[in-house]
Chain A
């Protein structure tokens, strides 16, 4: 049994959390704690997650589980530049609008840091 959207993994203030999004397929933490629907927990390094189990829900029988393990890794954000879609100047990606012409950079072209033209 596969849920269209089982759980959401998200990051807040450098910590990762998992949120149960399915009403039917259970999500277990460390094989002992079942998250309620929309329940959220912070993940520790080495956390064991189990999605699904063998049980019957109405007429549907779930026949398996997915086991996941969470390991925190140091992921470096890729620094990027952005090219204004209007005046084509190259800017730091932190800007919201182009400092030269004012155009929103939401539609600018993302480029690697080393780009210079």
Chain B
């Protein structure tokens, strides 16, 4: 039986407002804080970091999530999608979730680290890249390990461990005292409660995307090894290729597809096997250049290239302002033009595609998937309706299918959001995500003494375009705290220039905020 189906928790299913007396009568372990963040990932971490720097004590903040380290899920997804510690992310130097000021960015820190280790040439190269990107050099991006280590040290500085609690979030309700109560489960399925005046929802993506044909294949064959999602652990694919060679069908053309392509090419080079081949299946041709006013996006071999998932000015420049001022019903179209599926403009990846196509080990095919069937030989038969002529089918025999079409961003697949939307009749935007104010407040949940904020992909289509980026999480935290400051009773200090400088010096020395 689900926790919420137990009779004592009936109000969490049926009522909009729960009485404080009822909460006490449950006699469950209860944490009471002024600020509570749900999720415990990078979104929560950034918000808590801002709160600590704005003068909020550890004892006033609660974090409920499933991972001890805020970057744990992100790291797993990166590792599975073949971005190990030494590989670079798709993020700029100043987007640093461990440092709200963005200075020194990862680039400068990397250069100083290299110089200290005596690698002066590499240090100068990094500095040159920082000063000349993206015109003369490609855009700088930090190594994933650099980000994790920086987060570790900021975690220790703000005492993250003392605020974090393990929990699977079940329900959020308003109380009759104007605050919020959250019902969650501990590791063993025991019910726990948390109350707060300000709640921040940072639950991330509702899962990885497993396309319907892959789901059918898995359910009928019970085979989880030959058709995989790139965000799942799939190192066995590369081990098999290194030993036996073979063909891989790749789907999707974002950054993950690029990284998987690079990984397979590495296996090819390391083992010297010419019998490793890639068929890249795309649903549509993309030979037209995407334009927005005078700007245009590079298009090469049906891959769309841009340094980040949105143009840089959508993060902090005029496009950010434009997007915020755009009526809600027109934002979807802008996201489609500025964002969409693109990959990083990296010279090595462009070279890889060019060489692969000319040497014949990498081919591109277009069409819509009809079905995926196992063969007696142990291989897979992949049937596709050709793009030009729906009557014509293409058949591929392959060893593996790697689906790089990304993560599932459908809010309704998350029962927590689904319950909130139904119970409080929260409006959804054109992308079916939560409607939030410019301060990322879920206004439909406001009480006289409390506010609820959201961040990340749940707010896509809201006031900021790149919401699921490091900077997007920082921006959401910054704006939400501007709104919290209006609730004077909660002790958030004014972030004056002097305080900002004082706090930065404390950050630089590794002292608690």
Residues of A within 8 A of B (CB): 4-5, 8, 10, 19, 21, 38, 77-78, 80, 85-86, 96-104, 106-107, 109-110
Contacts and interface: CB of A to CB of B under 8 A. Distances in A.
Question: Residue among A21, A99, A107 with the most chain B CB within 10 A?
Answer: A107
Contact of B206 (A38, A80, A104): A104
Nearest to B187: A77
B59 A4 contact: yes
A106 B415 CA distance: 10
6 contacts: A38-B162, A99-B218, A102-B209, A103-B207, A109-B2, A110-B3
Contacts of A102: 207-210, 229, 408
B205 A104 contact: yes
A96 B75 CA distance: 13
Given A80-B189, A102-B207, A107 B219 contact: no
Contacts of B357: none
Interface of A (DSSP majority class): loop
Given A96-B73, A103-B408, 15 more contacts: A4-B32, A8-B162, A21-B162, A77-B188, A97-B207, A99-B218, A100-B215, A101-B210, A101-B215, A102-B207, A103-B207, A103-B413, A104-B414, A107-B169, A107-B415
A107 B416 contact: yes
Interface-central residue, A85, A97, A98, A109, by most chain B CB under 10 Å: A97
B66 A106 contact: yes
B215 A21 contact: no
Interface in B228-247: 229, 231-232
B16 interface: no
Contacts of A97: 207-208, 231-232
Interface string B203-217: 111111110000100
Contacts of B385: none
Contacts of A96: 73, 76
B185 interface: yes
Contacts of A4: 32, 59
B32 to A, nearest CB: 8
B145 interface: no
The B interface, classified by DSSP as helix, strand, loop or mixed, is mixed
B87 interface: no
Contacts of B162: 8, 19, 21, 38
A78 B188 contact: yes
Which of A10, A85, A102, A103 gathers most chain B CB within 10 Å? A102
The 8 lowest CB-CB distance pairs between A and B, nearest first, are A102-B210, A103-B207, A102-B208, A110-B189, A104-B207, A102-B207, A85-B415, A109-B2
A107 B414 contact: yes
Contacts of A5: 59
A36 to B, nearest CB: 14
B224 interface: yes
A107 B168 contact: yes
B432 interface: no
B430 interface: no
Contacts of B415: 85, 107
What's the interface size class on B, roughly? Answer: 35 or more
B159 interface: yes
A110 B188 CA distance: 8
Contacts of B206: 103-104
Nearest to B185: A110
Contacts of A38: 159, 162
Contacts of A85: 413, 415
A89 B168 CA distance: 18
Contacts of B187: 77
A58 B117 CA distance: 52
A4 B59 CA distance: 9
Which of B170, B209, B415 has the most CB atoms of chain A within a 10 A radius of its CB? B415
Nearest to A21: B162
A86 B411 CA distance: 12
Q: Which of A19, A98, A103 has the most CB of B within 10 A?
A: A103
Given A106-B66, A106-B168, A106-B203, A100 B210 contact: yes
A10 B164 CA distance: 11
A19 B163 CA distance: 13
A109 B224 CA distance: 22
Contacts of A86: 207, 413
A113 to B, nearest CB: 12
Contacts of B66: 106
Nearest to B40: A106
Contacts of B185: 110
Nearest to A104: B207
Contacts of B3: 109-110
Interface string B66-82: 10000001001000000
B418 to A, nearest CB: 9
> Residue among B169, B208, B416 with the most chain A CB within 10 A?
B208
A99 B58 CA distance: 37
